[in-house]
């Protein structure tokens, strides 16, 4: 199992555009056979910060995800939305429900 936690800080005027493309990516990612979970979170303390919690079956599923139209669209469109480079933390699962 592969877990990625992606943090994105967006420009205030780009929040709506970011949410639209991110929800499109979310809906389609959840249909991928190797996706286990994909949560889109909005910070309670910073309205410009979003966290994506992604769980995939294995690294092959992650690599497949990166080839999809919805991911490529998200990656291209969100670039102009960001206020700073996004960060990604890859995690090893110790316990999972």
Are the C-beta atoms of 10 and 48 separated by less than 8 Å? yes
Average pLDDT, the chain: 96
Percent of the chain's residues with pLDDT above 90: 93
pLDDT at 96: 82
The structural domains of the chain, with segments of one domain joined by +, span 2-91
Q: Thinking of the domain 2-91, which architecture would CATH place it in?
A: 2-Layer Sandwich (3.30)
Q: What are 31-68's pLDDT values in tens digits? A: 999 999 999 999 999 999 999 999 999 999 999 999 99
pLDDT band at 90 (very low <50, low <70, confident <90, very high): very high
DSSP-derived letter for residue 95 is: -
Burial of 3 (0-12, 13-18, 19+ CB in 10 A): middle
Q: For residue 34, what pLDDT is reported?
A: 98
């Amino acid at each position: 199992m592969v877990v990625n936690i992606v943090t994105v800080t967006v420009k205030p005027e780009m929040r709506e555009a970011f949410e639209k493309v991110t929800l499109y990516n979310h809906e389609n990612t959840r249909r991928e056979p190797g996706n286990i979970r994909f949560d889109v979170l909005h910070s309670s303390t910073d309205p410009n910060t979003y966290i994506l919690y992604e769980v995939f079956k294995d690294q092959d599923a992650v690599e497949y995800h990166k080839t999809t139209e919805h991911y490529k669209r998200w990656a291209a469109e969100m670039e102009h939305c960001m206020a700073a480079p996004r960060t990604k933390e890859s995690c090893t699962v110790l316990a999972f429900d």
